[in-house]
Amino acid sequence: MDILVISKYILMAALAFYAIATIRIATRKTISMGIVGLLGLSAAVATILILTNNIYGIAFCKDIAYALVILGPIGTIAFSKVIRGW
C-alpha cells in the first residue's frame, strides 16, 4: 500500500470520529447547537464522500458531496433567519 492511501484511510477514520462528535453536539437541547452539529456533520460526510470517490472511483459520491457542501450552509442560514424572525 502507498503512504497516500494509508493517510486517506486514517483521515476517513478521524472524520468518522468527528461525525460521531457532531451527532452528540446536534442532540443538545438548544436549536443553535443542533444547527451547528448538523452543519459539522454534513461537512464531515461530504469530505468522506470525496475521499471515497478518490479511493474507489465511485463517481456519484462527488455529486452528493457537492450538493451537501452547497445546500448545507444555505439551509443553516435560512433556518437561522426564520428562528431569528428576519
Express the helix, strand and coil content of the chain in percent, nearest 5 each: 85, 0, 15
> Residue 47: how many CB atoms within 10 A of its CB?
19
- The contacts of residue 56 (CB under 8 Å, 6+ apart) are none
In whole angstroms, give the CA distance from residue 21 to residue 8: 20
- The contacts of residue 5 (CB under 8 Å, 6+ apart) are 55
Q: What is the per-residue pLDDT across 17-62, written as a single tens digit (0 to 9) for each? A: 988 888 888 888 888 788 888 888 888 889 889 988 988 888 898 8
Q: Tell me the three cell numbers of residue 21.
A: 462528535
Q: What is the per-residue pLDDT across 64-73, written as a single tens digit (0 to 9) for each? A: 999 988 988 8
